[in-house]
Amino acid sequence: MARRERWQQLPPGMRDLLADESARARAVTGRILSCMRRWGYREVVTPTIEYFDTLVRGEGTEAGDRLFKLVDRGGELLALRPEMTTPVARLVTTHLRGRPLPLRLAYAGQVFRGSETGSGRLREFPQVGCELIGADTLEADAEIVALAVDALAASGAAECSVSLGHVGFLRGMLEGLGLPEEGALEARALLYQKDFVGLRAVLDRAGAPAARGEALTALPGLRGPQAIREARRLADTAESRRVLRDLETLIGILETYGVGGGVKVDLSIIRDFDYYTGIVFEGHTAALGFPLLGGGRYDRLFEGFGAPHAATGFAVRVDRALAASAGGDGGGEAPDVAVAFADGARGEALRLARSLRQQDLSVTVEILGRPWDEVARGALAAGAPRAVLVTGSRAVVREADGRERSAALADLLRGGPGHGGGPCPS
């Protein structure tokens, strides 16, 4: 196999979308945004490029290593956004300061990860999400989780569920161990990586009681209908007990929303952004081994922008939603109608094409001068429902099954290619 030239390749983690997949992605994004609009969320748009300092202010200095960085002509350090929440926080604190709270905002766009590596890991991908800003209540958490369930349904992904956890439970357990801040961060990272040998070593170095260490290593098993009951046996701090009470209340509210069956408690969730302060949740589907939705509460993020707002939100990975769906969105690459014309009938053909497009049909007009039969056979084979040959005041309509009929052009202009005429004379 011949080696491809560099100009024929893409950088690692980048991909092209052909017409059908692009149409499906737009359809999924549109359905999710429409779902959010029905919940009162209004779409905002932020730039793809932000100042590097802005993004680091939102995510923390350690996030700088995973940014795509660039320098403008003035020497300013810029970066491509790695997620949408920080740009929305900047937008809120610069343009919407003083507006009545809560704010309900939605967004859609491409995000970029400079450090994503490994087979199949994308460094550019589409997200659509929302933020509920200015409410620190369980009612706000319930709204955003219930909306996440609806958004998954709108995405078209099959057999979806939401796993719900809370960072406060792990925080409470770590406080009970008496670990220094550095040790607590290391323990959390090892739990995230499921490195229980390394975790045990950290706990032993800190002199943590064996029973408390065993409780921490049991965290990955705290999921499902019995999770809260089992967690009560391990909750030995006021913080962890409070979290369990809040989760019970939250599940009750979600049942009132009618989405309780689609949400399960999972206290093993450890989101990889340090700014989460309360609930955390992920959306899963049986078709994928990784989440297609992630979110949670991030009450400290806005402090970095001078506006200490409580906030919660989530984002859907559109590419993963497409991978988990059955397809069929957005149509194929074929037009609804392929139009050709006989000598001297160009004007009538273009008038018909314009009329059909005004009826929201996709129409191609033959520009290569090919014979009618070749045009019709090619269009129908590609999936077009019908092809039309305009001869003047009349036209020939060929249907997908190969049958042809004659129609008056005036009838087609009034009602489209599915109206008027009878079979073509043999």
CA-based nearest residue to 215, from 187, 189, 242, 247: 187
Q: How far, rounded to the nearest angstrom, does the alpha carbon of residue 113 sit from its chain's CA centroid?
A: 15
pTM above 0.85, yes or no: yes
Cα(263)–Cα(280) distance, rounded to whole angstroms? 12
Cα(105)–Cα(83) distance, rounded to whole angstroms? 15
Angle at alpha carbon of residue 82, lines to 77 and 83, rounded to 5°: 130
167-177 vs 238-257: helix crossing angle, rounded to 10: 170
| Residue 127 marked as a ligand binder | yes
Structure tokens given for 413: 């202009």
| Residue 276 marked as a ligand binder | yes
% of the chain surpassing 90 pLDDT: 66
| Residue 245 marked as a ligand binder | no
| Residue 14 marked as a ligand binder | no
Intervals of the chain under pLDDT 70: 1, 59-63, 116-120, 211, 271-274, 326-332, 418-426
Structure tokens given for 365: 């007009």
| Residue 107 marked as a ligand binder | no
Residue-level pLDDT at 199: 82
| Residue 131 marked as a ligand binder | yes
List C-alpha distances in Å: 5 to 10, 12, 18, 68.
11, 15, 21, 25
Both ends of the chain: CA-CA distance in Å?
51
| Residue 212 marked as a ligand binder | no
Residue-level pLDDT at 61: 56
pLDDT tens, position by position, 134-174: 999 999 999 999 999 999 999 999 889 999 999 998 888 88
Sequence-distant (6+) residues with CB within 8 A of 252 are none
Give the SS3 label for residue 385: coil
CB atoms within 10 A of CB 172: 21
Mean per-residue pLDDT over the chain, rounded: 89
Q: Which residue has the tokens 């056979």?
A: 377
Residue-level pLDDT at 176: 75
Sequence-distant (6+) residues with CB within 8 A of 70 are 49, 77, 78, 79, 80
**Residue 216 and residue 177 in contact, taking contact as beta carbons nearer than 8 Å:** yes
* Domains of the chain and any CATH numbers: 9-158+286-331 (3.30.930.10), 160-263 (no CATH), 337-423 (3.40.50.800)
Cα(109)–Cα(417) distance, rounded to whole angstroms? 37
CB atoms within 10 A of CB 140: 20
CB atoms within 10 A of CB 96: 17
CA-based nearest residue to 295, from 307, 280, 306, 310: 280
